[in-house]
Amino acid sequence: MRLLLATNNAHKAREIREILGDSFSELLTMREAGVDLEVEEDGSTFQENALKKAQETLAFVGDRFDAVLADDSGLCVDALDGAPGVYSARFSGEGHNDAANNAKLISLLADVPDELRTARFCCSVALARKDAEPIVVLGEVEGTILHEARGENGFGYDPYFFYAPFQKSFAELTAEEKNSVSHRKRALFKLKEALDVEHRSHL
């Protein structure tokens, strides 16, 4: 079964290959497959966006691929009623400006006490398939929002996201540490479990 990954992010593609490589005969990124397509992410949830991206991409490449994998992720802060959520990348306006997004986040949380600064990174992964129903899963990792940035690694909201089990912000973690607990990794393992269950039921 040929799988198209609806991404050109090399790190993301490597992680997907490591977890799902045994489930598909071939996995290609958009660039590797020569596919140029932008799907508007206008859903109200990560699951809606991931599924829309996967299904529309599959409709575009269905003559060449059996399935498409897409994901959508972001930060959900309890004190902000789940914001920035699906708007995580453009929280401060159009354009992916990490510094401006973080400045807005910290400003909105200025008067929120530590015990109420709970948050989670969420990642939804959707697998659209020509010959079967789609599979949509959600992975999450819990944390709290710091008052000041810590660490030089990572990107986005990582410097302000404190992960208690490691007593570090996500930007203080090594790539290996972050990957071991990431929301995307958790979502991908849920997807692999669902595929394995399907496979066993067909034996």
Q: Residue type at 55? A: Q
Catalytic: which of 63, 72, 111, 114?
Answer: 72
Instruction: Find, among 33, 114, 53, the residue nearest to 79 by Cα.
Output: 114
72 has catalytic annotation: yes
Q: Residue type at 30? A: M
How far is 176 from 174, CA to CA, in rounded Å? Answer: 5
Beta strands in the chain (DSSP E): 2-5, 26-29, 67-77, 118-129, 135-145, 161-163, 168-169
How far is 63 from 131, CA to CA, in rounded Å? Answer: 13
CB 89 within 8 A of CB 157: no
Residues designated catalytic: 72
